[in-house]
Structure 1
Amino acid sequence: MARVLVTGGAGSIGSYICEVLVQRGHEVVALDNGPSRKVEHLFDSGRFKFVQDSVLSKEVVEHLVSQTDIVIHLAAIADPKRYVTEPLNVLNVNLKGTLHLLEAAARGRKKFVFASTSEVLGRNPDVPWDEEADRVLGPPSINRWCYSTGKALVEHYLYAYGQQEGLPFVIMRFFNVYGPRCDDLGQGRVIPIFLERFLSGEPVVIHGDGRQTRCFTFIEDTAQAVVELSLNDAALGQCFNVGSDVETSILELAQTMKQVGGFDNELIFKPHLEVFGPSYEDIPRRIPKVERIAKVIGWKATTPLEEGLGRTIEFYRKP
């Protein structure tokens, strides 16, 4: 049995990871500055504790890390609109908060499992991307890249801590995770934004021409991958793409959601500039190579997009 601290543990991905860990008999502490509603079903398990605080609270972080064996660090600001409007907050939470955790973990040689992002590779046109692909980004004057850069800096820190301090670590790069209770409708990522529109009967707004592509990964598949990477020492010292390798355009996504949900909403198009302003840049294609994670822990995303969307739509349709 391991003692596991999950930062962002009451959030979109974290709540599922906490659930899997508790089901497997581990002791879990979720640190989150948000509400506990996504993890309240775990309160009676006897193996779960919720701490409502921030990764920017250094004393809280140091205390919690000292009592744990594994840190799974998910806490971050990951909303594209906030990259543009709140770049300072994004950088402070995603970088400063992580450094508090890293310093505490290094002192105790605690295993550190970090949720990075496919965004670190930016607009590299040479897809699909393996874990050693080059980073190709726009200029620092474009706020859109602050999230990517903060996450990449943490990856550098992890390799440095591993080399110089002997810190055991794992890096995970997520590719468009979605599913039930993953976001508040209308907030954050493309699927909850689309779904809010579909359910309200409003036109669904597609940014740009809709030809930009993503690989969507169902939350339950993702949670299993995170737990396996966290508990399997064969993963130590490595970076892993965690995602489906099935490419879907944003227009195809909207059409599939419309068909699966039986909706009749109009699909309309708006330029990125009109939606996000001048300090945003979109990524045309984002596709992972997934051979490494399959080889090391035997994991592969198995939930088809239509099935995952159906389960997600059903969840949000419930009164």
Structure 2
Amino acid sequence: MDRSSKYLVTGGAGFIGSHLVDALLANGHNVVVLDDLTTGRQENLAKAQNNPRFRFFRGSVLDASLVDELVEESDAVIHLAAAVGVKLIVEHPLESFVTNTKGTENVIESTQRHGRRILIASTSEIYGKNSSGPLNETSDRILGSPSVARWSYSTAKAVDEIMAVLYHRERGLRSTVVRFFNTVGPRQSPAYGMVIPRFARQAVRGEPLTIHADGRQRRCFLHVHDAVAALLLLLEHPGAEGETFNIGADDEISIRELADRIIAQAGSVSRLEHLSYADAYGPGFEDMERRVPDTGKLRALTGWQPLRTLADVLADAVADARADWRGGRPLRVPSTPEQRLPLTCGPVAETALAGR
């Protein structure tokens, strides 16, 4: 894409989406955001709002005609809109599943119809309970029973990936799929189960840090700015079309050690408090012991590598938590379905469109 490209970013008011919007605008592109503000926040786009090359539409990716209108006006699509976060998926499994499958189908169909390039966000949840590692893009998926709500998200994103692959093979869709592993940074809400922002906010308030189970689960955390850098490289690389890429860090840490480091970073007096998965998410919840990405494919194609360490991630998380606390901003929780209906906002030309 050249510097005059116009990008449609669904879910652009979300955590990753808003950082991507800022980067695209900084690189001279025009950006249209489609977001229903269910989990995204208008304030995430504060920096973009005054840019003449930016437009915001509020509405749903489930509205196929509105999606088609915006796709037709764009040069390329970055589809980030989704129901995300373990807590939201477990509490609203049916609504989340429909949003994550039908919404993606609408975006893919419209993108293929108009011959646009598309980058589709998927997730490390694709791998399910596979705790081996590092996991590459062809590693096996190991899932629990379909009756366990946790696995509905993995299944929905697998459906999204399958649609992208088949549309590419059979209809020439210019698609790239990316699987995010535990991306962290400023603007990330703790309201949907994300562990680092939750720990950081508990630590700066001197509250107990709630660790699920024994805390020996191992994860890797990537700074959002490094994730965005990977997206920009893939968007510019023709060799990324028709391919799937992991995006994540590869330095592991246990959740227990993570909690200790955040307490130290915050200079907090918080203690640790263990909570069973059943108490946190209800009976039958399942998790994996380890999740580590193999990002060799991404590195080989683009030369990408993370520039920020886990120490940088934790410093930013604590700083963001302190800013939220001082600003008195409440944690957002999922709204009811009735509150998520598309609403008119802003000028008449920007009525009711959008995604995540």
Q: If the length of structure 1 is used for normalisation, what is the TM-score?
A: 0.97
Aligned twin of 2:246: 241
**Which range moved further: 17-26 or 42-51?**
42-51
State the superposition RMSD in angstroms. Answer: 1.1
How many Å apart are 1:186 and its aligned residue?
Answer: 4.2
Aligned twin of 1:30: 33
> Is residue 303 from structure 1 mapped to residue 296 from structure 2 by the alignment?
no
Aligned twin of 1:87: 93
How many Å apart are 1:137 and its aligned residue?
Answer: 0.5
Q: How does 1:106-255 map to 2 (within 5 A)?
A: 106-183=112-189, 185-255=190-260
> Which of the pair has the greater relative contact order for Cα pairs under 8 Å at 6+ separation?
2
How many Å apart are 1:199 and its aligned residue?
Answer: 2.2
Q: How does 1:68-87 map to 2 (within 5 A)?
A: 68-87=74-93
Q: Is the 8 A contact 1:117 1:175 kept in 2?
A: yes
Aligned twin of 2:342: none
Q: CA–CA distance in 2 between the matches of 1:94 and 1:50? A: 21
How many Å apart are 1:188 and its aligned residue?
Answer: 3.2
Q: How does 1:252-271 map to 2 (within 5 A)?
A: 252-271=257-276
Aligned residue pair count: 318
Q: CA–CA distance in 2 between the matches of 1:316 and 1:292? A: 34
How many Å apart are 1:70 and its aligned residue?
Answer: 1.0
Q: Residue type matched to 1:109 in 2?
A: G
2:106 alignment partner, SS class: helix
Q: CA–CA distance in 2 between the matches of 1:68 and 1:28? A: 9
**Which range moved further: 113-122 or 193-202?**
193-202
| Structure 1 unaligned residues grouped into runs of 5+ | none
Q: Residue type matched to 1:306 in 2?
A: A
How many Å apart are 1:40 and its aligned residue?
Answer: 2.2
Q: Is the 8 A contact 1:106 1:165 kept in 2?
A: yes
Residue-by-residue CA offset, 1:53-88 (whole Å, 9 max, x unaligned)? 111111110100011111101111112112222110
Q: CA–CA distance in 2 between the matches of 1:128 and 1:309? A: 23
- Aligned with 2:104 (options 98, 109, 118): 98
1:37 alignment partner, SS class: helix
Aligned twin of 2:18: 15
How many Å apart are 1:99 and its aligned residue?
Answer: 0.5
Q: Is the 8 A contact 1:144 1:279 kept in 2?
A: no
1:133 alignment partner, SS class: coil
Q: Residue type matched to 1:305 in 2?
A: L
- Give runs of ≥4 in structure 1 deviating > 3 Å: 185-188
Q: Is the 8 A contact 1:36 1:50 kept in 2?
A: no
Q: Residue type matched to 1:265 in 2?
A: S
Q: Residue type matched to 1:63 in 2?
A: E
2:244 alignment partner, SS class: strand
How many Å apart are 1:222 and its aligned residue?
Answer: 0.7
Q: CA–CA distance in 2 between the matches of 1:66 and 1:188? A: 35
- Aligned with 1:52 (options 58, 69, 78): 58
Q: Is the 8 A contact 2:8 2:32 kept in 1?
A: yes
Q: CA–CA distance in 2 between the matches of 1:248 and 1:32? A: 33
Residue-by-residue CA offset, 1:18-74 (whole Å, 9 max, x unaligned)? 000000011100111114211121122211111111111111101000111111011
Q: CA–CA distance in 2 between the matches of 1:233 and 1:260? A: 41
Q: Is the 8 A contact 2:201 2:318 kept in 1?
A: no
1:38 alignment partner, SS class: helix
How many Å apart are 1:279 and its aligned residue?
Answer: 3.6
Q: Residue type matched to 1:75 in 2?
A: A
Q: Is the 8 A contact 1:7 1:72 kept in 2?
A: yes
Q: CA–CA distance in 2 between the matches of 1:196 and 1:187? A: 13
How many Å apart are 1:14 and its aligned residue?
Answer: 0.2
Residue-by-residue CA offset, 1:268-302 (whole Å, 9 max, x unaligned)? 11111121111421111100111110111111122
Q: CA–CA distance in 2 between the matches of 1:186 and 1:6? A: 23
Q: CA–CA distance in 1 between the matches of 2:264 and 2:246? A: 30
How many Å apart are 1:3 and its aligned residue?
Answer: 1.0
Q: If the length of structure 2 is used for normalisation, what is the TM-score?
A: 0.87
Q: CA–CA distance in 1 between the matches of 2:120 and 2:253? A: 26
How many Å apart are 1:227 and its aligned residue?
Answer: 1.7
Residue-by-residue CA offset, 1:124-168 (whole Å, 9 max, x unaligned)? 132110101111100101110011110011111111000111001
Q: Is the 8 A contact 2:197 2:321 kept in 1?
A: no
